[in-house]
Structure formats: C-alpha cells, structure tokens
Chain A
Amino acid sequence: MATQQTRSLARFMMAPSVILLFIWMIVPLAFTLWFSFQQYNPLNPIRDGFVGFSNYALFYSNPAFLQSILNTLAIVVSVLVITVIGGILLALLLDQPIWGQGFVRILVISPFFVMPPVAALVWKNMIMHPQYGVFADIARFFGANPIDWFGQHPLTAVILIVAWQWLPFATLILLTSLQSLDTEQKEAAEMDGAGFLSRFWYLTLPHMSRAITVVILIQTIFLLSIYAEILVTTNGGPGYASTNLPFLVYQKALLEFKIGQASAGGVIAVILANIVAFFVMRAVGKNLDK
C-alpha cells in the first residue's frame, strides 16, 4: 500500500529531470539531422530544399574535413598520452611523504579551475608569444631563436595548452586512487624484496587501472569538443592547421552559414562521440554493479 504510493511519487519526482533531458536530447538533434539533408542558407535561400546525402558528400570532399578529423584525433591522443603518463608520474611523486603536501596539491590542481579562454590567452601572450613570451625569453637566454609557436606549430601549441589544463585532473584522480592502495600490501611486497619497478608494475599499476580507464574516457569526452582554446589562440589556422571537427562545424554554421554542411558535420561528431560513449558507459556501468 505504502509502496504503491511511494512508487508513483518516485515517478512524479523523477519526471522533471527525465522530461527535460529527453527534450534537450531529442529536439535539437532531430533538427540537426533534418538540416543535414537540406540545403539551407539563411543568407541565400533561393536553392533551399531537400538534397539527400549531398551535404555529407560535400563535407567529406572538403579537404578541411579530413584534416579536422585528423586534428581532432591528434589532440585527443596526444593530450591523453601526456596527461596519463605525466599524471601517473606526478601521482607517484605526490604520494611520497613530502613537506607541505597539501599546498603542493593545491598548486598542481589549480590549472583545472582556470577557464579555457584565460588559459589559452595566458599561454598565447605571456608564455608562447614569439617576442614577449617566457619561452622566448628562455630561448634568447640560451642564445637560441624563439619559436613562433602559433605560426609554425599551431596544433602542438594547442595540444600543450590543453594538456596543461587536463594534467591536474589526471593527477588528482590517479593520486586519489593511489592513496586507496592498501599499505600492508605495499609493505609486504617490499619485504619480499620487490624493487620499485616491479612493485609499480605488478601492484600499483593494476590497482590504478580502473582510475586510468576513467581518466581516459572522461577526458576523451571533453577533448573531442575542444573549442575555446582554438578560438582564442589560432582561430583554426594557419589555414586549417589547427581546426578540429567542432571548430570546423562552428565555422560552417555561424561564419559561412552553410547550415546543411555544418549539420552533416555535427551528425558525424555525434557518431564519433557515440563510439566513445559506448566504452564510457560500459566502464561506469560495470562500476555501478559493485
């Protein structure tokens, strides 16, 4: 009797969240799907109408498309490699007994709280600027020529900035996981004469494996949609050298008003994200059962 009442009440309490998220998921996506099969140009509406798959074909034949996909993957993979390896090393270091550990943690985690446009602007102007940046100062100090990061290595520059933003996240999560490692196990391994490397390889790394998986998956979601960092630093250039898929879609939609093509790109972005999401859901779902 009470449960019946509770159950319908539970449904009633859940309804707003579910309905809102359902609308939020379905409505815009349906629009995007519809637009992806249309010729639609708000500036030049004469030829508007259904065009089948030609938007996909156009988007696909655009050389920027392949480049943007490659750039997207390059950003995701490079940042993941830097942050996961760097994060493991940093977590191992911070897990040692050190003086002022709380303060060191605060310093290390800080970049994560810096909003993307600020991070990008600070790196662009104060760190990587070919004339006035700190990197240029260092290069001149050693008698070398300063590197024109955004002119010559735009993608690398973007990757470095994004890696700086996400390294703290990886470190914090891996450190949290590391600190939950049973000290007795560690000491037992030590007493059995296991060296640092074998302890790391056979004990620590397997223990951290789930945290590493989570870091990779969650970062991938965010890294697939890097936007502000590119907008503020290189604006996708020179040419398309640092344009990723989200940035290309933004350019097509709001700068060129080629809505059909932009929507086709959006659908492709959704497919890409879904492939990743599939693995995320499996990892998180497995954890829920525990």
Chain B
Amino acid sequence: MARAVTTQHKTIATAAAWIVALLIFFPILYTIITSFKSEQEAIQGFALIPSGTTESYAEVQAQSGYFKFFLNSVILSVGSTVLALLIAVPAAWSMAFSPTKRTKDILMWMLSTKMMPAVAVLFPIYLIFRDGGLLDSRIGLTVMLMLINLPIVVWMLYTYFREIPGEILEAARMDGASLWNEIIYVLTPMAVPGIASTMLLNIILAWNEAFWTIRLTTTDAAPLTAFISSFSSPQGLFWAKLSAASTLAIAPILIMGWFSQKQLVRGLTFGAVK
C-alpha cells in the first residue's frame, strides 16, 4: 500500500524537507544576503533582495584588515593539523598494525584527555604562555590547537588504518620489503584517503576553535574567531559589515565542510557510527 502512493508521498516529503532545510539554513542565507546590502538597507526591515553592493566587503578589509586575520586562521588551522598528523601518523600506524594488550587502554586514555574542560586549565596555560612569551604568538597557538586535536587525529587515523588489510603488509614483508619501503610503497598509498579525511576535518575543527584562539591572542596572531568576537561590542549599526565579515569567515570552511560530511560523522563519533 505504501508503495502505491510513491509520487504523492515523495512530493509531500520533498516539500517538508525543503522547508525545514531552508529554515535551518536561513540565518546563514540571510547573512550572505545582508552582506550585499548597504548599511542603511540592512536595518530597513526584512528584505531578501539586496541591492548588490559590495561596499561592505571593501570596508571590512580597509577598516580592520580582514586579510591578516584570515591568514592567521589559515596558518593556525593548517599548521596545527599538519603538526598533529606528523605526530599522530606513526602512533596510529603502530597501534593499528602492531597492537598490544595496552593499545585499547592508550586509545581510551587519549580520548579522555579530550574531555578535560579547557576552562579548568585556563590560568595555568595563560601563565605558561605569558612567561614563555607565547601570548599572541602563532607558534604558541599552533601547538595549543595541535594538542587539542591530537586525540581526534590519532583516533581517526587509527580507525582508517585498521581497515587496511594486514595481509598486504605481511606479503610485502615476505617479499623482503624493509620497514621504510613498507611504509612508503605499501602503506602510504592505501592510507592517503584516510589521512586526507582526517586533515580536512581537523582543519575545520581548528578553524572554528573559539576558546583558546580568543583568549590567547590580541592582534598579531588573532584568527577570524577573535576578529569576529571583536564585533560583539557594537559602535553604532553595522549589520552589513558584520555580515560581510561573517560571510568571509565561514565561507571557506563551509565549502570544505560540505565535502567532509561522511568523515565528520566518523571522526566525531570516534568510529562508533559509520
């Protein structure tokens, strides 16, 4: 019976899904629309058609040097992710291919470090950063973001590596491949997709990290999270400019995010849901 009403059923479901999806997406859509309005237009009440001016974008760059913050976001998120990968790939590799009795405990322990509330160590970290001259430095924050995401990176890589059949490695070993050859010629090609997914998700997470990036920076190393937060105490009305800045801040990561939906589920559930 259910099969008989397919077209009607599909039409209703489609309409409902599109309405709900558009409602959820609306704040983002409206931000993008408003970014193409002039400041006056922006506060004149609800309107979905902007005049199409790009003056807000020009102003955001001219007044606050948007590009510098953008560059910091790129450096911090990519830098911390690459650093984390360099440290995590060997660890995940050894845990996936030569597991011991303690491997599971180590993995669980790593995950547990992720659950420590950042705020609990705010002051010690602040002191360490201040005394080490790391406040508002890109290096300090890169290391920080690397440490925060390291458990997720290890976990994600581990779940990907575990799916590579161990027999292939054994075969290579039997053929006399040395360990390094094994890693470079056998493992790496099979591991690249997993590493790429891990990288993508962690760049997104680091890009959006909004506790340490706000608290440990002021100007030089401040990424987009800190830049946007500085808009929270308004001097006058600035909807269009705020929208332009917001659109610029989320656009790159939104597009990356769309390509990483599957990895997102896997990475953030630590492989529990695939």
Contact = CB atoms under 8 A, between A and B. Distances in A.
B94 to A, nearest CB: 4
Contact of B2 (A120, A134, A190): A190
The listed residue with most A CB atoms (<10 A of its CB), out of B88, B107, B229, B253, is B229
A3 B10 CA distance: 58
B185 interface: no
Interface residues of A, number: 108
Contact of B239 (A96, A126, A177, A281): A126
A265 B121 CA distance: 11
B272 A118 contact: no
Given A107-B25, A164-B24, A227-B211, A172 B265 contact: yes
Interface in A170-217: 172-173, 176-177, 180, 190, 210-211, 214
A265 to B, nearest CB: 8
A214 B269 CA distance: 7
Interface stretch (A47-55, A56-64, A74-82, A267-275): A267-275
B72 interface: no
Main secondary structure of the interface of B (DSSP, over half): helix
Q: Which 5 A-B pairs have the closest CB atoms?
A: A31-B124, A28-B121, A266-B120, A13-B90, A113-B257
Interface of B: 2, 6, 9-10, 13-14, 16-18, 20-22, 24-25, 27-28, 30-31, 34, 42-43, 45-46, 87-88, 90-91, 93-95, 98, 100, 104, 106-128, 147, 150-151, 154, 173, 179, 204, 207-208, 210-211, 214-215, 224-225, 228-229, 231-232, 234, 237, 239, 242-243, 246, 249-250, 253-254, 256-258, 261-262, 264-265, 268-274
Given A10-B100, A126-B243, A176-B262, 19 more contacts: A16-B91, A17-B87, A24-B147, A112-B257, A112-B264, A113-B254, A117-B229, A118-B249, A164-B24, A176-B265, A176-B274, A224-B117, A225-B211, A250-B215, A259-B123, A269-B117, A273-B115, A281-B108, A288-B107
